[in-house]
Amino acid sequence: MVPRRTSAVDGVVSPPVDDAAVAVTPRFGSNHKMLLIIIRAVYAFVCAGAIATYVSPGARDYGIDQPQIVRDYPFLSFTVLLALTQSVTLIDLLLRRKRIEVISAVYFGLLVGALLSYLLLQALAPAIRGTDAQGAVELLVTLILPYVSISLLLQTKDDFRFVIPYVEFARELKGGKPLILDSSALIDGRIADVIETRIIDAQIIVPQFILHEVQEIADSGDKSRRSRGRRGLEVLAKLQNSPVADVRVQEAKEDVHGKEVDHRLIDLAKQVGGRIVTNDFNLNKVAGVQGVDCINLNDVANALKPRYLPGDHVHIKVIKEGESPGQGVGYLDDGTMVICEQAARQKGKEIDVVVTSVLQSSAGRMIFGREAVAGDRYPDRAAPPMAAEKV
């Protein structure tokens, strides 16, 4: 059970969603599963043929030496050997979640351990050759060094991984620092729209305990909370199906007795060197105190809101006439087009314009306004830089 917390999850206003269950689809496709089935079938067929050849009475004609028990019990030998080869397939099926860094650590640990054992025994050969301790030293070195190598690599697999074929350590990062999503960010949904703009190329990590928290909200008896939880699952499914998003569900560790979700998020961010994406103001502050970068979607939205609001004053030079009769067109220093009603007669002059509306689109931003008159007053908030110069 994931420890409950008080966060921005319950305060997010979201539109109603369908009551149908929302499934989070895995990244492992059906074509990969079919390929594995074919590989296992071919492996079983090859093993059966090779073992049948080995236990057959005519195997000695091909120079194959058979033990006496194989010659006496060919069918039993065939069954036992085939069972041994297929036990590998059974182990493969039981160990469903395999990680390449674990396999790399074991593989290279054996290689490094064997190499170190050989070199150490060569160095000790003049001292131990012909002594009673030679056999014991060779046995201990051969057993201990591979174990130590594998153990060290397994304990550092979360920080580094092997890169083939250069066999070097490298940080497991794609693009920038990975982004770790909080439940409030999933339920909010704006992160999916931000990723669709291709402005983010970092890996998206959704911890398993965050997924469990969203699922608990989706199973809540309260209709409002249930709708928010299902919206969060819909957003995660959308991210997983997006061709521009690299989403990974991070498995949760078991040794987290009594830890709250916020602390587990911070610990995970420290472990992978990532940044937390959230709407939770308190989590944002706690993460900052502990030195973890945190992105608040509300701060991002405030940074992208229009610079000018209705009632603001801007100072422009009318460059040309607009498409509609009487319109005058000018530009701000940043290139934003300002369309002023009844300002065509002011062409070539500098005028003050009162903003009436702002149109923001993917093509840019346009400001609509009217010419300021003597009775207009500046708003209480600070005027834009250009207007301030005019004053």
Q: How far are the Cα atoms of 29, 142, 143, 220, 226 from residue 233, in angstroms, in the given order?
A: 20, 51, 49, 14, 11
Q: Which residue has the tokens 């070195």?
A: 141
pLDDT at 163: 42
87's tokens = 């036990």
pLDDT (0 to 100) of residue 378? 55
Looking at residue 161, its pLDDT comes to 46
Please tell me the distance from the alpha carbon of residue 230 to that of residue 6, in angstroms, as a whole number.
Answer: 19
Backbone φ and ψ for 363, nearest 5 degrees, come out as -80, -15
pLDDT tens digits, the chain, 391 residues: what are they?
444 454 444 444 344 444 443 444 444 445 667 888 888 889 889 988 888 888 888 777 777 777 788 888 888 988 988 898 888 888 888 876 666 767 777 888 889 889 999 999 899 888 888 777 777 788 888 888 888 888 887 777 655 544 444 344 444 445 578 889 998 888 888 888 888 888 888 888 898 888 898 899 988 888 888 888 898 899 889 888 888 888 888 876 655 556 788 888 888 888 888 899 988 888 888 888 888 888 888 888 877 777 788 888 888 999 998 888 899 999 987 778 999 998 888 899 999 999 999 887 766 788 999 988 876 655 554 444 443 333 3
CB 105 within 8 A of CB 153: yes
Beta-bridge partners for 350: 317
110 neighbors 148 (Cβ within 8 angstroms): no
* Long-range contact set of residues 153-159: C-beta below 8 Å, sequence gap at least 24: 153/104, 153/105, 153/106, 153/108, 153/109, 153/112, 154/102, 154/105, 154/106, 154/109, 157/99, 157/101, 157/102, 157/104, 157/105, 158/101, 158/271, 158/272
Whose structure tokens read 């496709």? Answer: 29
Q: Which two tokens stand for residue 64?
A: 């194959």
Q: With 0.85 as the threshold, say if the pTM is over it.
A: no
Q: What is the pLDDT of residue 167?
A: 43
Q: Return the H-helix or E-strand segment holding 106.
A: helix 100-128
- Taking the C-alpha atoms of residue 259 and residue 182, their distance in angstroms, rounded to an integer, is 16
- Please confirm whether the linkage preceding 165 is cis (ω < 30° from 0): yes
